Amino acid sequence: MKKSSAFLAVFSHRDPALLITGQSISNFGDGVANVALTLLVLETTHQNPAQLGLFAAARMAPTVILLLFGGALVDRVSRRLVLLTSDLVRMALTAGLVVLMLTHVLAFWHLLVFAALFGTFDAAFFPAFSALIPEVVAEELRPAFNALRPIANNVIGGVLGYTAGAIFAAWSTSLAITIDSLTFLASAAALVSMRPTAAPFRAEATSILSDIHEGVRFTFSHRWIWTTLLGVTLSNAFIFTPMGVLVPYFLVHDLHSHKVSVGIFGAMFGVGAVVGAYVVGSRPLPRRRIRTMWGMWTIGCLAALIVSAATNVWEVMLFPLITGPCIVYGGTIWDTMLQQEVPKEILGRVSSVDWFVSLGISPLGLLLAGQLTGMFGTANYFLVASLVCAIPGLIIMASRRINAVDAPRLEPGWRPPDASPLPDGA
């Protein structure tokens, strides 16, 4: 199948089409809510970057802490059922936040509780979604599906969601968050419309802790997995996660730009992400997957230097236009590699270890980023963080041992697993 037709082929299959459509709608709500919540926290805390970082950390910390348990859970029960439960609970949480806003009793501690509960159910959602894909998407369609996710999510969730979020939040923050709540309901409806999926096959009954240990052992027995996770941990903690907090603060506080610029920043990231996803999804995966993936991520880290030198809003907007495609291009390669190389019955646990390690110190990174920005300024923070976080990528790209997983792909006559057989004599 040609890659150019693979995107359309995804929508010709009922369950993959429902899955990506529901998640795209939900991501639209996420884009709206991300802008609204950022502005809401800044208003509630009187433009305090440290408390904005604390809010973001309060959401991420329970996710990180519970991810390994979430991964063990999704390898025991229906992954579709886990996603459905997570969507419905998060819908209720956002609706509750709206009630607090409309009754004028909302305080900062309410936002911290909301963030912590929301992050708790994210812990099961992330590995469940990763593990469900091989169950509902045929192998030859997975690279296209993994690329279509960021295309659909960033067009609808990034460009439209952030733009709409800026407009709605400028008018009514409670309306913006209400929209997010309704999109969770739409995602749940799509999951209900999919065919039921059974719990993963288990040869023997084991404890939760044993399941977690198996996932951790598999991850750290493969050099290409654990070195990538450790490298990503640094850039996630100090660039890619804090940028959603620090760049809006930089735009509003340092450059004194309008609130709408926060939404435009998210939209620009969405535009860049779509470009990266389309490029990687419309062509075969590179033979040198590790080096290509890390090359893109390293460029994404170095793009943060733009913020360190920016004096105008339009200069800041170059950062997401470069970083967006780099993150998505590398991420699509990574997702597809895991689905190709990791057995299905353990994929939920390995995915949870992936999320756990790669986000492991991000809550601390958010707190430190907020404090360091308050002490030294946003520009100086991104100058140092960009240079430091580029180092792991350079080391991994140069390592033969880490890149050994791609050695068979470089042999003469190698064919990708979804390729048509070579004709006789070829």
Predicted local distance difference test score (pLDDT) of residue 420 = 36
Report CA torsion sign: 302, 305, 307, 313: negative
On average, the pLDDT of the chain sits at 83
Predicted local distance difference test score (pLDDT) of residue 169 = 78
What's the mean pLDDT in 147-165?
Answer: 75
pLDDT digits (tens, 9 = 90+) for 203-212: 566 777 888 8
| Separation in Å, CA 137 to CA 11, 133, 144, 283 | 11, 6, 10, 18
CA 40, CA 110: separation in Å to the nearest integer? 12
CATH number, domain 3-193+208-409, options 1.20.1250.20, 1.10.8.60, 3.40.50.300, 1.10.3720.10: 1.20.1250.20
60 within 8 A of 359, measured Cβ to Cβ? yes
Q: Where are the domains of the chain?
A: 3-193+208-409
Please, what is the Cα angle at 121 between 117 and 126, to 5 degrees?
140
| pLDDT above 50 for 4 | no
Tokens 């309901």 found at:
185
Give the closest residue to 190 by CA, choosing from 18, 13, 20, 27. Answer: 18
Q: Give the other-Cβ count within 10 Å of 4's Cβ.
A: 11
- The fraction of the chain above a pLDDT of 70, given in percent, is 92
CA 119, CA 125: separation in Å to the nearest integer? 10
- pLDDT-derived band at 416 (thresholds 50, 70, 90) equals low
Q: What SS3 state is found at 251?
A: helix
| pLDDT above 80 for 225 | yes
Which amino acid is it at 220?
F
pLDDT digits (tens, 9 = 90+) for 277-304: 777 766 777 889 999 999 999 999 999 9
Q: What SS3 state is found at 268?
A: helix
Structure tokens at 84: 């459905």
Give the largest Cα separation in the chain, rounded.
76
- Which uninterrupted H or E stretch holds 11? helix 3-11
Predicted local distance difference test score (pLDDT) of residue 289 = 93
Give the closest residue to 297 by CA, choosing from 390, 225, 382. Answer: 390
CA 261, CA 102: separation in Å to the nearest integer? 26
CA 176, CA 34: separation in Å to the nearest integer? 9
CA 25, CA 152: separation in Å to the nearest integer? 9
Listed as own residue / partner, the contacts of 117-120 with beta carbons closer than 8 Å and 24 or more positions apart are: 117/62, 117/93, 118/59, 118/90, 118/93, 118/94, 119/58, 119/59, 119/60, 119/61, 119/62, 119/63, 120/62, 120/63, 120/66
CA 94, CA 115: separation in Å to the nearest integer? 10
Q: With a threshold of 0.75, does the pTM exceed it?
A: no
Predicted local distance difference test score (pLDDT) of residue 130 = 82
230 within 8 A of 368, measured Cβ to Cβ? no
